[in-house]
Every structure is written in structure tokens, then in C-alpha cells.
Structure 1
Amino acid sequence: MSRGRVVVVGGGLAGVTAALDLAEAGFAVELLETRAKLGGATYSFQRGDLVVDTGQHVFLRCYTEYIDLLRRLGVQDSISMQHRFEVPVLSTNGRASRLHRWNLPAPGHLLPALLGYRQLTAAQRARVARTALALRMLDPADPALDEISLGEWLRRHGESPRAVTALWGLLGVAAINEDPDDASMLLAAKVFRTGVLDRSDSADIAIPQVPLSQLHGGAAHRALLAAGVSVRTRCRVRAIRRVGAGFHVLAKAGSNARELSADAVVVAVPHQAAAGLLADLPVPGVEQWSQLSAAPIVNVHLHYDRKVTGLRMAAVLDSPVQWVFDRSAISGATRGQYLAISLSAAQDYIDLRTEDLRALFVPAVQQLFPRAREARLLDFFVTREPNATFRQAPGTAAIRPDARTPVPGLVLAGAWTATGWPDTTEGAVRSGARAADVVVAARYRQRGVEVIA
């Protein structure tokens, strides 16, 4: 017997997680997604013989809930996880280095990274070690940390501009999608403590070995159907109305309008869309969600007629290139080498014309990989994600809402909600699980059983 009917609005990782958890808890669940496929912002498209992800996604071993979701979707074997954290760091000054760890208890595992990191002087490395110990003492839940930026906190602790750029920013920009001076120290503390300092293996990097639409979209669809969830794609929700003790969800699929009844609704869409859907419901703080704004990510794609580097992945300093990935095998390239450059905090690039980006990044790649100078560029294109994440700036913690709203049965999900994590796949999955817990707890309370959610 069903415990009730739930409509989940949004088929990204948050919505998929909430729907799976609620179906397993005995609810009748219907998931509505505007796009043709599930997966939210993590999707792929075909370009010639390449299957292209809109953005390069990597994750860390500390993304435990996301990794568990991949297991539930049956795609845990479609990722490649490092046995030990290691990142080559290239520079246009020719001083290549690498960040790596030893198998020592934290934080001793970082000693080799600091001792051998040639991008910093010995004095700068010593200062970084002291700063890391100070950072390890911070509480990632301390709201006072959200009042300052990562850059300001680092300067207070005597970090040099070079250390901010070549180490803290190198990792922080990729994780928070903000430059150090624009990134909330609260989120930075979460990133560096959970992702780097608390456990020796937490920063080991994983890269999907299949396109994202295969990893998330197709696998999620199959798992949801197997769990008994009714999945409707190309179905746009227009409004959510409170009717008695339940809800009516007004949706449109093509030319067909539908009105769905539900005991509970999980709104698992980006904050801009959520604000529009909830405008007529008594949810406080909706008008503030716009202050979360958006931060872009741009990906520059280069397909060469031959191999130009033997690196699978590298971080880059002193160059417009930030991170570069070899996506030849993942994308199904039948010849040459296909590289993707991932640019976080990409406000300076999001509106540039493709030809301007080509004029900037083709020479930059040639400077990093001399073999590219002799190679023929088969294809050059750009993918842009203007709303890749919310602006994870100081002051945003107070704006991010909890899953539970004052409207009984109306629950929020999404990486932008108050997960305690940055806007990441891990944050999205955790938000979906939290939303499901709230719905389950409310149902038990209706039956006189107290459950904490």
C-alpha cells in the first residue's frame, strides 16, 4: 500500500535521488523533467564522431553520497578513481611540477606535495603548511566564515599572492567556481577540510569514463523505472497550487496540459525556476533567492589530427588554460586527440566570440604542448554554461533555504539549497536525500510517529 503520492519536479541528480529514495520508502512517485533526458545540467551531445559533454566533470573520493548514487544506478564501473591523489601542474615558464600525496595519516599526507611543489619557493611552502594547519582547525559550519572571502582569509594568514594563485586558487576555483576574492570562506573551509585535509584519501580524483548522458541520464531513467517511478520527460511544470491538504501540479507536455494531484511535491530545479514556481505560495525568502545569482563555466574543445600530449589531465598556471583533459577515448574519437579545457569562474570568457577564444586558446595550448604546433586542428568549438552554479560568494549561506518549507508537503532540493556543500554533484545528491527524508518524516508525523529529519 502506497504511503502517498509525490510529484518530483526536476530530473537532475537531486530529483533523481529524491525520487529513488521516496519510491524505496513506499511512495507512489512521478518525476517530471522539462528536457528530453534526465541528468539536469550534466548532459552530452553528438558532434561529428565525438560525444561531447557540455562540461568536464570530475569528483573526489569524499563525494560519498554521489558515489553511492552511481552504485544505485549501476554505473559505478564507469568511473576511474585515482589510487592516490596526483595532479600534474604545468606553467608557461616551463617549470612543470605536480601535486600528490603519500599514504600517511592526514595532514601528513600532504608533505610531499609541499616539499616538491616547484611552483612555490621554500618560504612560500612553509607558510602554506602553517596556513593549512590553521584551516584544519576551522569549523565549516561556522556562519562567521561566510562573512569573508577565501582570499581575505588567506591574506590575513600571511599567504603570498603567488601561493594564493598557484595553490589555493588552483584548487579552490575549480571546486567553488569563484576566484579566491569572490569565494565564501565558509564554502572554502568545507572544500579544503573535507576534500583535502581531514582524510588522506579524500582528494583522490575520479573521472567518468563514459559521456555524462550515459552515466547519469540513461542510467537514472532505467533505475527509476525499475523502482516503480513514473518518469515524464519533455514535461514542463507551469504552476504548483495548494489544494486542501495536498497539491495540484500544472504541467504541459507538448500541446497537452495536465493537472496532477499529489500529497507532497519536491521542487528539485535551479533556484531561478524554483522561485517562479513558488511565487504564489507562502514560502519566505523566495524573493532573496535571486541574490544567489549565477556563475558561468566555459569549456573550450580542440580536436587534433594527432596526439599532442601524453597527459590525461593537468592543471595549468600562468596561462588562460586552467585545466585540460584528454577526452579522446571517453568521447569515442576515432582519430587524433580530443582535448577539453575547463574554465571555472569564467565571467571574462562567457560572452567572447568563438573566434576570439580560438585566437586565445590555440596558441596557449601550443605553448604548453609543442607537438600541437605541428598538428592540424580538425575542430574547435566552445560550450558555455552561463548558470553552471550559483554565485558562491560571501553572504550566500543565509540565503540558501532548507529542504523543509512552512508549507506542509512542499519540499526543496538542489545543490543551491542549504546542504553545507558547494554547488557540486555531491551537494545535489545530498539535497535530494534530505528532501526525501523530510517527506518521509512528515508522513510518519501524520501517523503519530515522531521522526527527526
Structure 2
Amino acid sequence: MAGGTVLVVGGGLAGITAALGLADAGRSVTLVEARPRLGGLTHSFRRSSRAGDLWVDNGQHVFLRCCTSYRRLLDRLGVSDLVSLQPRMDIPVRSGASPRVARLRRSALPAPLHLAGALAAYRWLPPAARVSAARAALALGSVDPDDPAVDEESFGRWLARRGQGPRAVEALWDLVGVATLNAPAERASLALAATVFQLGLLESNDAGDIGWVRVPLQRLHGDAAARALAAAGVRVELRTRVGRLPTTYDDVVVATGPAVSEDLLPGDALDLAPGWSARLGSSPIVNVHVVLDSAVLDEPFVAAVDSPLQWVFDRTAGSGLDPATGQYLALSLSAAEELLGRSVAELREWTLPELGRLLPRSRSARVLDFFVTREPQATFRAAPGSRKWRPATATRLPGLHLAGAWTDTGWPATMEGAVRSGEAAVASVLGRRTERTALGATA
């Protein structure tokens, strides 16, 4: 329905999606963002180093072919040509205890047979464990993520009941699960894990093809969004904090983080007890950045077993580093509670030997730069029972809506989840008759 004014609070992927969708539907939209840039948790900054000036992403983000909403946003921003998407899922997996490499590569067979060959040849599991893992994967496909009892159960407990021992959890299930859920299986909701594995690996043979960014995230998201929003007629106000929700708009979409959103919302806006955002909680991600004077990784990324390093990405091209000068590696460490408080010196002493075991050529390379970025509240905590603390898009107050990867999208806290929440906010606004937001006094 055309007409009506909307305020979107928050300029991350959820807020950007909501603002563009509402502007495209004919609404007069204002977007406010406290930071001096758009993009939320997916942003970049400049850093000077001995290797030259670098573009640094605050974190390493990948997506899958099944992330249709996120890919639709890239199309809307006009930046789909700035990402790469595998023609066929292929994950190189290296071990910190062996120089050999295994690959989880799908075939052209229909799902779930498309992974049978990869699992049968997966050297980091004994043959009997591979058969057991295949049975568990088939059983996971029948789990109902919408069942409240499923959300209350931990993924680790479910795996143990299916005969998945510590080695299978480390070398297979957590290889994917920790990166997408930001939690190990023992601390993750079975419902969220089932969503990840069903949509990403079990329902369609091409759903798990991996995509990654070839440019700085700020260029892909924030800068492109600024252009698209301006072209759509959205008024954008950066460096603008909202301490009180105004009553001068027909609709308001709050697309900030959980704690900020709880502070902004009137006490009667949700059917949740006060303190719900703290109960939902958060999980950190630590990213270690290593610039070397020579290339030590020949692929865009590698996953790790028998190592605490999890995933390593080649960010040379995206950072602007001349490949003739060296290679820029970004090590993404999810569920990093134990690493969050370590100093850069401690992390360097811990990381470089582990990197040498995983990528032997790095042992003889000279370190040109080493630094760390931390996101203490990178995602909501994907724990068992978390869904009851994730509010729906529509609130109890007419004209007040929520967006954010932490809302009840059914997805974990991913870029896809954030964009889906923005799309849900658009539907929520457009599905209601235009009426003045009745917010009353707010904190």
C-alpha cells in the first residue's frame, strides 16, 4: 500500500533491507544509524602496515546458495558481481596433525546422495564413523525445527544419541555447525542446527555451494546501500542516536541489537518478561589477521580439524594487498569466549605455531603484520531454548515492528537471517492499515 511514513532505526543488513523494501512499496522512509556508516556488523576499515595500506573486514562472512534473501539483497544493491559463488560445493579440510588434505565436495546427484561420495572418502573419520555419520544426517533431515521441544534439546545430545562420538562431532558436525551457529554442538539448539543442515546440505544438492566476498565488506554492503537508499528516496541520518521512539511516524521498525532494542521498546510492546535480551544472550567471534611475505594458502579458504583455528580465508585481493608483496590470511574463530580476553601478544604466540601445523609453508614465511579484531556480541546465543527469547516481527503496539537476525526468523544469526528479518518487517508494515504509532512514553 503506497503512502505513509516509516522510521527505520538501525542501518545494518536488516534495517537496509527494510528501508529499501518499504521505499520500493511507496512509503516515505527515514533511516537513522548511530554509527558514521551503514552495514552494521559487516563493515571494513583501513589499516596501515608494513605490507601497505589494507582494507580490513571486521569479520569473515560467507554465504550459501540457499541464502536466497541475502543474494536478492545483493542484486538490489547492484553488487552481485563482487562476490564469488562456487559452481559446486567444495570444502578443503586440512588437519593440524597431518599434511594431507580431505575435501567435502558434492556431486551432481540429487540430495542427499550428492554428499555420499564426499563422506565415504572423508579421511578425517574412520570408515565406520562415516557410515554412522551418514545415518545421523538422514535422521537429522526428519527433525522438525518448529517443534518447541526440539529447540529445547542440544544438538550435541541429539548427536550422541545417534552414535556420534567426539571425533565425528569435531571433524564433521562442528566443522559446519560452529561457523554457522557460533556455538559448538553441545551448546547449540537442535532446532537451529537442524535448520542449518537441512537447508544447507540435505534438501537440495546445490544449496551448500559456498559464496564469499571479493571486495571489502564496506564496499559490498554499506557503500552500496548508501547509493541504493539515496536512489530510492530514503532519507539517511548517520551518527544519530535514538533515545526515545518518536510518535510522528505511521510505522517504526526497530532494527538494532537485542539489548538496545529492549531499551528502546515500551515495556508493553512484547509478550516477554523484562530482561529478555540478557536471557537471549550473545556469543563472541574473534578474528586473527596475519599478513605474510609469501603465499602459503592456494585456495580461497580452508577448514581445519585437529586444530583450534577453525577456518582460514585468503583475503589478499579483498584487502587491496599486492599478491607480489605477500598474502593476507584471516582466521575466523567462532564461539571464542576463551580467546576474547587474550592480548594480541598472547594470541600471536598461540596462533602462529598452530598456523604452521595447518599450513606448513607458513613456518618459513615472514610475518609482516599481525592484529586482532573482536566482536564480543557478534551473534545471539544459539543455545537450547533460545527461541522463546526471540520476539516476532510484529509487536503488541500498532505500527511498531522489529527486525534483526536475533528476531524469530527460524535461522541462526547469519546475514541471511538478518535480511529475512528485514523482509518480514516490510511485510508486517505493508500488511497493516496505516495508523499513527501509539508508543506513548518510552525509555
Q: TM-score, length-normalised on structure 2?
A: 0.95
Deviations 1:315-374 (A, max 9, x none): 011112110011111110122011010000001111111100000101111122222222
Q: Is the 8 A contact 1:313 1:325 kept in 2?
A: yes
Give the letter for the 1:10 counterpart: G
Counterpart among 143, 147, 155 of residue 150 in structure 1:
155
Tell me which amino acid in the other structure corresponds to 1:418: D
Q: Residue 274 of structure 1 aligns with which residue? A: 261
User: 2:416 aligned with 1:419, yes or no?
Assistant: no
SS at match of 1:262: coil
CA–CA distance in 2 between the matches of 1:264 and 1:3? 11
SS in 2 for 1:415: coil
Give the match for residue 234 of structure 2: 229
Alignment CA distance shift 1:319-1:93 (3 Å):
same
State the match for 1:299 in structure 2: 287
Q: Residue type matched to 2:214 in 1?
A: Q
Equivalent pairs: percent with the same residue?
A: 53
Q: Does the Cα contact within 8 Å between 2:94 and 2:101 map onto a contact in 1? A: yes
CA distance in 1, matches of 2:407, 2:188: 17
- 1:324 corresponding residue in structure 2: 312
Distance in 1, Cα, partners of 2:244 & 2:65: 39
In structure 1, distance between residues paired with 2:37 and 2:215: 16
* Matching residue of 1:37: 37
Distance 1:38 1:445 in 2: 29
2:242 alignment partner, SS class: strand
**CA contact under 8 A between 1:326 and 1:338: conserved in structure 2?**
yes
* Residue in 2 that maps onto 1:92: 96
| Residue 311 of structure 1 pairs with residue 299 of structure 2 | yes
Task: Give the match's secondary structure for 1:274.
Answer: helix
Matching residue within 132, 137, 152 for 2:142: 137
Q: Which 5+ residue runs of structure 2 have no aligned equivalent?
A: 437-443
Secondary structure in structure 2 of the residue aligned to 1:155:
helix
Aligned match of 1:258 = none
Please show how residues 345-356 of structure 1 align to structure 2 within 5 Å: 345-356=335-346
- The aligned runs of 1:80-119 (5 Å cut-off) are 80-94=84-98, 95-119=100-124
Taking the aligned partners of 1:296 and 1:8, their CA distance within structure 2 comes to 26
Contact 1:9 1:267 (C-alpha < 8 Å) held by counterparts? yes
**Offset of 1:445 from its aligned partner?**
9.3
Aligned residues: 428
SS in 1 for 2:196: helix
Structure-1 residue corresponding to 2:179? 174
What's the secondary structure of 1:314's corresponding residue? strand
Q: In the alignment, residue 288 of structure 2 is paired with which amino acid?
A: V
1:286 Cα deviation from its structure 2 partner: 5.6
1:363 paired with 2:350, answer no
Q: What is the one-letter code of the residue matched to 2:374?
A: R
Q: Please, which of 377, 384, 404 is the counterpart of residue 374 of structure 2?
A: 384
Give the Cα separation in 1 of the matches to 2:123 and 2:313.
22
Aligned: 1:24 with 2:24: yes
Deviates more, 1:280-289 or 1:65-74: 280-289
Q: CA deviation at 1:195?
A: 0.7
Q: 2:196 aligns with which of 168, 191, 197?
A: 191
CA contact (8 A) 2:2 2:25 kept: no
Which stretches in structure 1 are left out of the alignment for 5+ residues?
Answer: 242-246, 248-260, 447-453
Aligned equivalents of 1:399, 1:292: Cα separation in 2: 5
TM-score, normalization by structure 1: 0.92
| Aligned mates of 1:207, 1:2 — CA distance in 2 | 36
4+ residue runs over 6 A deviation: none
* Pair 1:62 & 2:53 matched: no
Contact 1:409/1:439 (8 A) holds in 2? yes
Give the AA of the match of 1:47.
R
Query: Does the 8 A contact of 2:398 with 2:435 survive in 1?
Result: no
DSSP-derived class of the 1:30 partner? strand
Q: What is the alpha-carbon root mean square deviation over aligned residues?
A: 1.4
Q: What is the alpha-carbon distance in structure 1 between the residues aligned to residue 417 and residue 334 of structure 2?
A: 18
Greater Cα offset, 402-411 or 364-373? 364-373
SS of aligned partner of 1:330: helix
Task: For residue 386 of structure 2, give the secondary structure of its aligned residue in structure 1.
Answer: coil
Cα separation, 2, equivalents of 1:445 and 1:348: 48
Q: Partner of 1:240: helix, strand, or coil?
A: coil
